[in-house]
Amino acid sequence: MFITIEGIEGAGKSTHLSSIADFLQETGKSVLITREPGGTKIGEFLRELLLNPEQTIGLDTELLLMFAARAEHLTSVIRPALQAEKWVVCSRFTDATYAYQGAGRGISESRIAALEEWVQGAFRPDLTLVLDIPVETGLARVRTRGAMDRFEQEEVAFFQRVRNDYLARAKAHPHRYRVLDAQQSMETVATQIKDLIREFL
């Protein structure tokens, strides 16, 4: 199975990525954890470029770089792991592109969909967990980490559009998405995630 974790900055994706992997391993599953952009040598190079606050990147360039990293990630990591009967848990996937480059940046959904079809075909996550948190709360958490990357430095309105898009996508496709309140304690959210995965299994 392919599980993805989505949400705005400060929602706790990295923390819960490892806890989900630990839980699945406890149930006897072989698990691979990964992230986007990234997950491969090329992907990590592109991630560093995309997140560098000193870089100025055009909208189309940003979108194409995201899908370039994803194409390599799918070919080199995700598909081979699934074929080897591993469970893959990934921080961000194409939903993030619709939310950030689409709703956030204003790129049309049809253009993103065309690239999604080209790179992925019919391939989609089996389950997408959306960690939802108010923008101000998430950004307050981010500020405690130190220097912020190129995306973290965006304005509040940008992240509000991103958050709204995640919630709209989850409402439109309830069979795949599960929304969790990430304002709760990490322990509470982790327990709810485990319950959701048990239900999914």
Q: Phi then psi for 91, rounded to 5 degrees? A: -80, 110
pLDDT tens, position by position, 14-62: 889 988 999 999 999 999 999 999 999 999 999 999 999 999 999 999 9
Quick one: average pLDDT of 157-162?
97
Residue-range definition of the domain harbouring residue 128: 2-200
- CB-based contacts of 151, cutoff 8 Å, min separation 6: 9, 51, 100
Tokens describing residue 158: 């940008």
Strand pairing report for 87-91 and 2-6: parallel
Instruction: State whether the Cα torsion 19-97-9-145 is positive or negative.
Output: positive
Identity of the residue numbered 94: T
Distance of CA 68 to the CA centre of its chain: 16
Q: Is the pLDDT of residue 6 over 80?
A: yes
**146 pLDDT more than 80:** no
The span from the CA of 94 to the CA of 188, in Å, is: 27
Helix (H) or strand (E) holding 33, with range, is strand 31-35
Look up residue 86 and give its amino acid.
K
Using one digit for the tens of pLDDT, what is the confidence trace for 97-121? 999 999 999 999 999 999 999 999 9
User: Would you say the pTM of this structure is higher than 0.75?
Assistant: yes
pLDDT value at position 144? 85
Query: Residue 58, class by beta-carbon neighbours within 10 Å (0-12 exposed, 13-18 middle, 19+ buried)?
Result: exposed
Tell me how many domains the chain contains: 1
The average confidence (pLDDT) of the chain is 95
> In this model, does residue 143 exceed pLDDT 90?
no
Asked if residues 32 and 87 have their Cβ atoms less than 8 Å apart, the reply is: yes
Helix (H) or strand (E) holding 21: helix 13-26
Position 199 confidence tier, pLDDT thresholds 50, 70, 90: confident
Q: What is the mean pLDDT of residues 5-10?
A: 95
Phi, psi (5° rounding) for residue 84?
-85, 10
Q: What CATH number is attached to the domain comprising 33?
A: 3.40.50.300
Rounded to 10 degrees, what is the CA torsion of 16, 90, 193, 143? Answer: 40
Handedness of CA 126, 30, 11, 185 (dihedral sign): positive
- Residue 147, pLDDT score: 82
User: What is the percentage of the chain residues whose pLDDT exceeds 90?
Assistant: 90
Does the structure show a pLDDT above 90 at 201? no
Q: Is the per-residue pLDDT at 145 higher than 90?
A: no
